[in-house]
Amino acid sequence: MEIQPFLPLAEKFRAVFLDSYGVLKNYKGLIDGVQDTIAKLREKGIAIRILTNDASRSQEQQIASFAKQGLHGFETYEVITSGMMAKHFLQHKITEGKIAYLGTENSAHYILQSGLEHIAVKDVDLNNVKDISAFVFLDDEGFDWNTEINKTVNLLRRKNIPIIVANSDKLYPVSKNDVAVATGGIARLVESMLNKKFIHFGKPDTQMFTYSYNRLKQRLGPFTKKEILMVGDNLNTDILGGNKFGIKTTLVLSGNTSEENAQQQINASGIIPDFICRSIID
């Protein structure tokens, strides 16, 4: 397993797609040195886009969160979130009825701004679901795990409606050694129980990559996929997504994947990054 320094590698590309958690920040906060790396990429004229599976914050909230931690200078067009992609889908596809959701009111307020009423699953009357037109998995917080996942299962058994997963992540780190179940993990469980196919947004699905690529060409003119590098810490989302989209990928060992188990995970998953770096600050 060859580990390369990041900046000399990144300088070979015109655009760099960066995951957020595990690349720019971790459970402690912003990774020391990230600010300098971002500044050096900008000095080289390399376009930067943040591709995150976070569905709990708007682009503006993401940028404010970065700034609060000391990472300044991002514009809204540089941040692409899975919540944003889910929002676009709902705005164009769901035109009537109520949208039920599992998650926090903050993310519901941001994502479900389609002009339709949204309702937390805890407030749904299972005996009267005729006006529920879609269901969205938003966050792993904001609900009672003991009751509302069961209620979600029963709602989706009773009503055949579009089911949207705004964050595909199955797990996320909460400390150096521990993880927590993320929205995508809950959704996958319910999906397998009901034997239904949900609509997933975020990496590794290609909608976010396609959107980012098309907007990049709109702003900067002709662009090829060969000129883009995807950087992430997760084989199953960042690297698989980049591989599926047909761009070069770099696995960093500063988040979900550690240097000790990286090769084992690559061998076990069959997901092969083009490059490996310890972090974007090395």
Residue 22's contacts (CB-CB under 8 Å, 6 or more residues apart) are 173, 232, 233, 234, 252, 254, 255, 256
Give the pLDDT score at 230. Answer: 98
Which domains are delineated in the chain? 6-53+204-277 (3.40.50.1000), 84-200 (3.40.50.1000)
Give the pLDDT score at 115. Answer: 66
Span 211-236, pLDDT tens digits: 999 999 999 999 999 999 999 999 99
Give the pLDDT score at 15. Answer: 98
Give the pLDDT score at 178. Answer: 81
Q: How many CA atoms lie within 13 A of 242 on its CB side?
A: 28
pTM passes above 0.85: yes
Span 57-95, pLDDT tens digits: 888 989 999 999 999 999 999 999 988 888 888 888 888
Average predicted confidence (pLDDT) for the chain = 91
Give the pLDDT score at 113. Answer: 66
Query: Which of 275, 260, 200, 255 is closest to 20 using CA atoms?
Result: 255
For the chain (length 282 residues), average pLDDT per consecutive 10? 94 97 90 96 97 87 92 95 87 87 82 76 94 91 91 95 89 77 91 93 91 96 96 95 97 91 94 97 88
Give the pLDDT score at 36. Answer: 97
- With contact defined as beta carbons under 8 Å apart, do 97 and 136 qualify? no
Counting other chains too, the contacts that 177-186 makes at CB distance below 8 Å and 24 or more residues apart are: 180/140, 181/140, 182/140, 183/55, 183/102, 183/103, 183/137, 183/138, 183/139, 183/140, 184/53, 184/137, 185/140, 186/102, 186/137, 186/140, 186/149
The Cα 136–Cα 143 span in angstroms is 13
- With contact defined as beta carbons under 8 Å apart, do 134 and 161 qualify? yes
